[in-house]
Amino acid sequence: MKRPLVVLQAAIQFFVSLGALVSGTMLIVAPSGELLQAPREMLAGSPFNDFLVPGIILVLINGVGQLVAGILTVRRHPLSGFIGFTFGAGLAIWIYVQVTIIGGGHILQHSYLALGIAEMALAFLLQREPQSFRVR
């Protein structure tokens, strides 16, 4: 694998993981959204009454999932490209659903969407390299 691509991919994955673990935990601890200053009115039109379930999903998918993807990337696991693509797509879908349900336009939403797209592109490049299929 090309080292700069691996480093960039892992950096994105660990960054997203850290943000999701912190934010998701804050939503689980305070489902009202008060710790993140997120009013419940944001959830109007969604299937959720509070932020508990979105917080759990955020922790599990974008938190733990991205952490595992980052570890696999650093270890240069043969499936790291596929896993990275999967969780990059998951991040992009998360942002799409968020924007669809609660509205969009915030710079953080655009930034995380860009990170998801970058993660998918990097994963594609890393998985295509023949070396990425070797177990080390």
Residue 12 has pLDDT above 70, yes or no: yes
**Where in the sequence is the domain holding 82, given as residue range(s)?**
3-41+50-130
State how many domains the chain has.
Answer: 1
Is residue 123 one of the residues assigned to a domain?
A: yes
| 18/66 Cα distance (integer angstroms) | 9
Q: Is residue 136 part of a domain?
A: no
- Within 13 Å and on the Cβ side, how many CA atoms surround 82? 5
Domain membership of residue 94 (yes or no) is yes
Q: Is the pTM of this model over 0.85?
A: yes
Indicate whether 75 belongs to any domain.
Answer: yes
- Tell me whether residue 135 is in a domain: no
Per-residue model confidence as pLDDT tens digits over 15-45: 999 999 999 999 999 999 999 998 888 888 8
Is residue 97 one of the residues assigned to a domain? Answer: yes
